[in-house]
Amino acid sequence: MQTADFDYNLPEELIAQTPIKNRANSRLLALNRKTQNFSDHIFFDIIDYLTPGDALVLNETKVLPARIFGTKLGTGGAVELLLLKDLGHDTWECLARPGKRLHQGTKITFGTPINTTKNVVKSTTKTDTHPNNVVKNTTLQATVVKTLEEGIIHVKFTYEGIFLEILDRLGTMPLPPYIHKQLEDQSRYQTVYARNLGSAAAPTAGLHFTPKLLRDIEQKGIKIIKITLHVGLGTFRPVSVEDVTKHQMHTENYYMSKQAADTLNDIRAQGGKIFAVGTTTVRTLETVMQKYGKFQACTGDTDIFIYPGYQFQGTDAIITNFHLPKSTLLMLVSAFADRGLILKAYQHAIDEKYRFFSFGDAMLII
């Protein structure tokens, strides 16, 4: 199975640059695996596909302002870090740019002393507006303690105060590189039910839900269940090998409570269907089922990679966005439905001018 098998041509103008005003007014392409038919809807129509006794499973992770800019002590060279995973004891796994110039022992400082613009860092990409162009007072520093492959490093932070508060002052939302416009309202890159801080990217399928839509779904008799998977490099890392099976996923941390596990097991026993909101939710459900053969309270790291040939155990339907060509996310949905059918549906979405990727429209696969 080749990575090129999951390629398609997307006109650049269909890449959504901003979220629409009302989340639930996104378009929805519904795909039926059994009949191989698809139909066009508005996202709030999703409730019509849910039946009392079904479960809607949400990933309640919350995006950190995980993109921070600094300078190397001694040389003043610009550094950009994307925080990927909290390793404990103030140590984080990060994606660094430029990664090749950072070595073990390198010290980085973030922000600028008050009443000075000395050492203000400029962004490493043309489309970014650097947050540190505003004078800030901070004592945040980092030391590189380990270097890994492809720009991934481990750094240990030292600071005064509360780390998340400092990060909130200095960091920016880590919008994907294909989004070139500044996000005026940072909350639009969060789901309305986001609660557990820890993600480097939003679980974007959930961006379409509003509090009202969730209330209406619950009032219809559908169980709303929340799990957590902190989105890291594993979700959006590009596939760089020709043979899909040779791709190595990066680990991401997940959590399922006893209440969530018990409810899911009850729903499955009573014949209800499990609707997973987003590929991160799918990966959590499937990880737990693979490990235990049932849903169970647990926490841990997963590097599960789902591609055609995979047998799903914990997912009956997927609500998802439209994914990048040759991505692991496109491979996952191509495992849930036939690859050819998925690409056919994508071509329909292109022909009908659907909006693609993070701020784009949605797809339901049943």
pLDDT, residue 342, reads: 98
Residue among 327, 198, 307, 193 at smallest CA distance from 252: 198
What are the tens digits of pLDDT across the range 41-87? 999 999 999 999 999 999 999 999 999 999 998 888 999 999 998 99
What are the tens digits of pLDDT across the range 284-325? 999 999 999 999 999 999 999 999 999 999 999 999 999 999
Bridge partners of 19, per DSSP, are none
CB atoms within 10 A of CB 44: 20
For each of the domains in the chain, give its residue range(s) and CATH number, in order of start.
3-63+185-365 (3.40.1780.10), 67-170 (2.40.10.240)
Quick one: pLDDT band at residue 147, thresholds 50, 70, 90? very high
pLDDT, residue 131, reads: 41
Name every residue whose Cβ is closer than 8 Å to that of residue 260 and which is 6 or more positions away in sequence. 57, 225, 226, 227, 295, 297
What are the tens digits of pLDDT across the range 48-57? 999 999 999 9
Instruction: Quote the tokens at residue 268.
Output: 């499955």
Alpha-carbon span 244 to 353, nearest angstrom: 29
Is a pLDDT exceeding 50 seen at residue 32? yes
pLDDT, residue 115, reads: 32
Would you give the distance in Å from CA 221 to the centre of its chain? Answer: 28
Average pLDDT, the chain: 91
Do strands 61-63 and 196-199 pair parallel, antiparallel, or not at all (unpaired)? parallel
Is a pLDDT exceeding 50 seen at residue 114? no
Quick one: pLDDT band at residue 128, thresholds 50, 70, 90? very low
Average pLDDT (133-151) is: 75
Element holding 52 (H helix, E strand): none
pLDDT above 90: percentage of residues in the chain: 80
Do strands 107-110 and 91-97 pair parallel, antiparallel, or not at all (unpaired)? unpaired
* Full-model pTM: 0.88
Alpha-carbon span 236 to 215, nearest angstrom: 31
Residue among 264, 325, 273 at smallest CA distance from 295: 264
Alpha-carbon span 347 to 139, nearest angstrom: 51
Residue among 313, 334, 314 at smallest CA distance from 323: 334
Name every residue whose Cβ is closer than 8 Å to that of residue 311 and which is 6 or more positions away in sequence. none
Quick one: pLDDT band at residue 136, thresholds 50, 70, 90? very low
pLDDT, residue 234, reads: 66
